[in-house]
Amino acid sequence: NHQVRLAARPQGTPGPEVWEHTTEPVPEPGEGRIVVRISHISLDPAMRGWMNEGRSYAPPVGIGEVMRALGLGEVVASRNTDFAVGDTVTGVLGVQEYVESDGRGLQKVSPTADVPPERYLALLGMTGMTAYFGLFDVGALKEGDTVVVSGAAGAVGSVVGQLAKVKGARVVGIAGGPEKCAWITGELGFDAAIDYRSENVSQRLKELAPEGVDVYFDNVGGDILDAVLGRLAMHARVVICGAISQYNAEGGMTGPKNYMNLLVNRARMEGFLVGDYLPRWGEAGTELAGWLAEGRLRSREDVVDGTVADFPEVFLKLFRGENTGKLVLRLNRA
């Protein structure tokens, strides 16, 4: 059982020195417990936050502990009546090949020929839930709104824009590079895209949202957040989903300067955690799966084949913008 453990707290971008690779025998299930063979590891920007010391919504991963990660796998041994050998489960499984668990917090899922397993880490998993509750509950989306989403070709952002279209909004996505911009406007039906690497975001927002932005779904923070705050409509809602541009920042986060525009426009800015909506995930999952089956939503998974040892390098793709859609590490076995 190959495992990747946190060896040291990173300063800035986490290099190979913060990881330790260990090997243990494949675990046996204790009484009332199961063993899961992990086939897919979810790569999430939030994992960078879990590596830091200090108070947050979840305790930090301890030094020497297996890195925390969402994943998907198959039950290969069971002494728990709720799980049978052969069940596919998702949940917090860690960066390793096998995990022994009491089953709490794990959800059974049913991949089919049409629904590949990695989709349960993407639109049909935590990613889809984040887009759904962030846009509909926190963002209080209304028909006819002008919605701007950053990280728009990423896992969450690509779903946010599509959901806004389903509800009849006008959607502008902000993403890095011409391919990503072409994908969100061409395949996903966004009304417009801004390539923040080559375009002036403030200037383009002025052209694309002349009446202002009603909902801004922020995945990146920093200068892009500041630019959108400068273009808020009256009673705008700014959803703080994440701030990936700041996660590796050394010497502290840099904040927006245009926040007084919240006052001027009687707007609000609100953070949220998808986990707080857990009791409603079932309802949201049914609705998302329905729209997916009707072809009104698309889920793109950016699957990298490799082993647990590849995790540290694959993780960094998120911060280099090398993924389109949901980044997943699929574990190969001999």
Binding site for ligand NDP (CB under 6 A): 44-46, 127, 130, 151, 153-157, 175-177, 180, 219-220, 241-245, 272-274, 318-319, 321, 323, 327
Residue number with CB closer to ligand NDP (214 or 218): 218
Query: Shortest Cβ distance from residue 36 to ligand NDP (Å)?
Result: 22
Q: What is the largest CA-CA distance in the chain?
A: 63
Question: Whole-number minimum distance, CB 163 to ligand NDP, in Å?
Answer: 13
Q: What does the alpha-carbon distance between residue 15 and residue 13 come to, in Å, rounded to a whole number?
A: 6
Structure tokens at 241: 């989903």
Classify strands 232-240 and 170-175 as parallel, antiparallel or unpaired. Answer: unpaired
Handedness of CA 293, 113, 184, 220 (dihedral sign): positive
C-alpha closest to that of 139 among 259, 39, 270: 270
What is the residue-wise DSSP string for 74-140?
Answer: EEEEE-STT--TT-EEEEE--SBSEEEE--TT-EEE---SSS-GGGGGTTTSHHHHHHHHIIIIIS-
Q: How far is the CB of 86 from ligand NDP (least distance, A)?
A: 29
If the CB atoms of residues 78 and 130 are measured against ligand NDP, the closer one turns out to be 130
DSSP state letter for 171: E
CB of 121 to ligand NDP, least distance (A): 10
C-beta of 210 vs 251, nearer to ligand NDP: 251
Contacts of 279 (CB under 8 A, 6+ apart): none
CB of 247 to ligand NDP, least distance (A): 7
Query: Which residue lies nearer to ligand NDP by CB, 46 or 269?
Result: 46
In angstroms, give the least distance from the CB of 118 to ligand NDP. 13
Of 77 and 163, which has the nearer Cβ to ligand NDP? 163
Q: Which is nearer to ligand NDP, 239 or 292 (CB)?
A: 239
